[in-house]
Amino acid sequence: MTSRVRIACRGIVQGIGFRPFVYRIALDHKLVGFVRNQGDAGVIIVAEGSKVDLESFVNDLHEKKPHLAKYEDFQVEWEKSNNKFSDFGILKSSEAKAGGISYLPPDISICSDCLKDMKNPNDTRYNYPFTSCVICGPIYTTITKLPYDRPHTTMDVFPLCDSCRIEYENPLDRRHHAQTTCCSICGPSLSLFDRKGSLVECSNILKETAKQIQKGKIIAIKGIGGTHLACSATDTQVILRLRTKKGKRKYKPFALISNSITDIKKFAEIENIEEQILTSYRKPIVLLKKRNPFILSKWVSPDLFNVGVMLPYSGIHSLILDEISDPAIILTSANPTDIPMYVENEKILSKAADLADFFLLHNREIHQRADDSVIRLTNSNPVLIRRSRGWVPEPINLPFDLKDEKSLGVGPLLTSTGAIAYKDRCFLTQHIGNVDTLETLDFLKSSLEHLSKLLGISKYTSIGCDLHQNFLSTALAKEYASEFESNLLKIQHHHAHAVALMIDNKLSLTDEIVAIVADGVGYGDDEKIWGGEILHSSYTAYERIYHLEEQIMVGGDRATYYPIRMFAGILSKAMNLENLKKILENKYLDSFPGRYNEIQVLLVQLEKKLNLFETTSTGRILASLSSLLGFCSERTYEGEPAIKLESFARLGSRGKIRFKIPSPSEDTIFTTPLIVQSYEFFSQGKSPFDIALAAHYELANQFANASISYAKENNIRKIGITGGVAYNQFITSYISKKVRQANLEFIEHKNLPCGDGAISCGQAIVSALQNRE
């Protein structure tokens, strides 16, 4: 007797070879019917056959599914058979929806089979850099609309040749319905240009590119989700030239790309978990400890203990690296600071003309740019610094259902993302960057609108934004609130951090935590600059229970660029201005760009209380330590003083320095004694590395003790850390140890960044929950 089953699959079931997989399994069980993509990224399967065969078929769909497939929902309905099918087929995609939430996988790095094809002289795709199949290649950066079919991607202008079409239409071929499949006859092509925009004639473009890199030239390379600048990692002269061309890249580390794990091991140490991440289909940049001696130029990542490295995720990168003799080359984004990556060929040639000597471009449109993702190990766990290519548009699963709420978070000012919360998911955009230019604001807006389109959302019930009135993202939130007739909710920066941490640990709506939120800057509800907070947090409310001592930023934002000004402001609490003047002029004169004149102005500002701003920022305390110990006198990139402090602290020894810091008074954790005593130890000739290490542990100890005390008094079982400082190995690992020793649960980030890249998620969740109250 013939039976019939209808299956609605939701999750990651489009773009990963799912329909060919279903087809093959159906044939194995001698079933008839069809499989079809739906317009919301879901898949519908209708199959007829014997009850036994159908049950085995359903079981195989679970047990043998493609490794990238993910079922968020798998609904099986048994129906009466009408015997209308004669075979099993893959039907043309439908605009109809399967229901629920489905989504596309991210861009997937080139697979091992395609690499073999590309490097096999007897294969038709030999040396063809755009080789892909149904389980690899660009997806999110190419799709324009759902369902995910070739006409809805940027490959629609590249009709398949006869040979590729045979593969594409053969359900048993691994390129069956691979939407980006192509070859040198029918697919995109590369061209090499000089800086004047003239075509460079050569017999092998990729070999010529590699040759120019090894000759000390800078090459702009258009890849999968954006354009990079590539140059030698051993040629100091070209690296310094690249730093000058990029602007504001005086010391900021560059990422590297290597052809193999073997090559990476020549200049970096790799733990097992790091190797697994490096070789995964996501292929992010991973921060690795430098091997000593470091055989590449010190100007790759000056004064840091680690270096960011990735393996090639596209055929373009792989074929170029095959021709490079060095173990790595630099690969950094081809755009000026605070401007999104250029993706249009005309803009690359015109806007980036001063950045590169040559331009390796292709003629496939990049519909959505996506920066490389970045990961590091902290407290022995992999933590995302930047969540972008290889992750987006995968959602964060929520431990509750928002039901009818559809909310949008527009993010903060720095290292921003946008986010959409919908039902029991939160979808984050790719990394946007600092939203302080109109170009980056447009990028944020286009990314949110693209994600909304893919999710089929045309209207939002609430919009979440930062408390700060002057952020460009706040203006965008107001625009959206008006357009969608939505409620606009302003979410405090550090509460958004805490909520993102709760989401990342799947806490329930009734859970409460003690959250240590430590970062550089966030606008407080008292209109002051926060950044060293201990919050008693739920999803919809928070109480500020402790914070670092308020310190003076002399000259406002200038103190963030020249941290010796923070040090001076803190030291002014412990001595008169005459003694402070002697210290600054005798020991720190070179830390002030204006030297004597600037010191004099600073002293007048302190005396007359001019242009002074108070902050509880942990970042500013770490920066003060970095400047007073001589590690960093000028911040040339975000977090530089604190990052260098952590690097140099690794050279220190435990137990050599002991601080005497008073216990917190009411709600304040004191930091003036930490800075004053650090200066005194340094003046006594103590090792700056020992002082740096001890200061990290002392600050962590203060945070941990205050949090544990409050948690026990209020019967709260969970303590966590979030914010940019949570990336710091010494601080996070020590707090974790103390919390666990107190028999409390320590929580930390797993799938969201510790930094501001998770703020939009917190904003979206808080606004949705507050809006429905």
Judge if the upstream peptide bond of residue 395 is cis by omega within 30 degrees of 0: no
Q: Can you tell me the distance from the alpha carbon of 530 to that of 24, in angstroms, rounded to the nearest whole number?
A: 58
CB atoms under 10 Å from CB of 597, counted, come to 10
User: Which residues, listed in sequence order, are joined to residue 330 by a DSSP beta bridge?
Assistant: 231, 256
The token pair that represents 719 in the structure block:
């303590």
Q: Can you tell me the distance from the alpha carbon of 716 to that of 719, in angstroms, rounded to the nearest whole number?
A: 8
Contact 584, 554 (CB under 8 A): no
User: Which amino acid is it at 678?
Assistant: S
Specify the DSSP class assigned to residue 141: T
List all residues 6 or more positions away from 709 whose beta carbon is below 8 Å from its beta carbon: none
Rounded to the nearest 10 degrees, the angle between the axes of helix 577-587 and helix 595-608 is 160
List all residues 6 or more positions away from 310 whose beta carbon is below 8 Å from its beta carbon: 255, 256, 257, 258, 278, 283, 284, 285, 286, 331, 372
Q: Which of 10, 36, 37, 127 is catalytic?
A: 37
User: Which residues, listed in sequence order, are joined to residue 79 by a DSSP beta bridge?
Assistant: 4
* Per-residue b or e along 613-623, where b marks 16 or more CB atoms closer than 10 Å to that residue's CB: bebbbbbbbbb
Could you tell me the sign of the dihedral formed by the alpha carbons of 137, 142, 146, 150, in that order?
Answer: negative
Alpha helices in 406-455 (DSSP H): 438-455
Q: Which of 4, 10, 19, 369 is catalytic?
A: 19
Among residues 154, 125, 138, which one has the least CA distance to residue 223? 138
Sheet arrangement for strand 419-422: 396-397, 425-428, 419-422, 406-409, 462-466, 487-491
How does DSSP assign 491-528, residue by residue?
E-HHHHHHHHHHHHTT--TT--EEEEEEEEEEE-TTSS
- In the residue annotation, 586 being an active-site residue is answered as no
**Cα separations (Å) of 579 from 333, 582, 587?**
46, 5, 12
Q: Can you tell me the distance from the alpha carbon of 705 to that of 726, in angstroms, rounded to the nearest whole number?
A: 17
How does DSSP assign 295-328, residue by residue?
-S-GGGSTT-SEEEEE---SHHHHHHHTT--SS-
Contact 764, 486 (CB under 8 A): no
User: 493 φ, ψ to 5°?
Assistant: -50, -50
**What residue has token string 């107190």?**
742
Residue 50, SS3 per DSSP:
strand
Q: Can you tell me the distance from the alpha carbon of 170 to that of 166, in angstroms, rounded to the nearest whole number?
A: 6
Q: What value, to the nearest 5°, has the Cα angle with vertex 80 and ends 77 and 81?
A: 110
Among residues 199, 247, 191, which one has the least CA distance to residue 222? 191
Among residues 153, 208, 419, which one has the least CA distance to residue 319? 208
The token pair that represents 751 in the structure block:
């799938």
**Cα separations (Å) of 110 from 113, 327, 412, 550, 704?**
8, 20, 34, 51, 44
**Cα separations (Å) of 506 from 535, 603, 609?**
18, 50, 47
User: Which amino acid is it at 426?
Assistant: C
List all residues 6 or more positions away from 757 whose beta carbon is below 8 Å from its beta carbon: 384, 385, 386, 387, 415, 416, 417, 428, 431
- In the residue annotation, 37 being an active-site residue is answered as yes
Q: Hey, which residues are catalytic here?
A: 19, 37
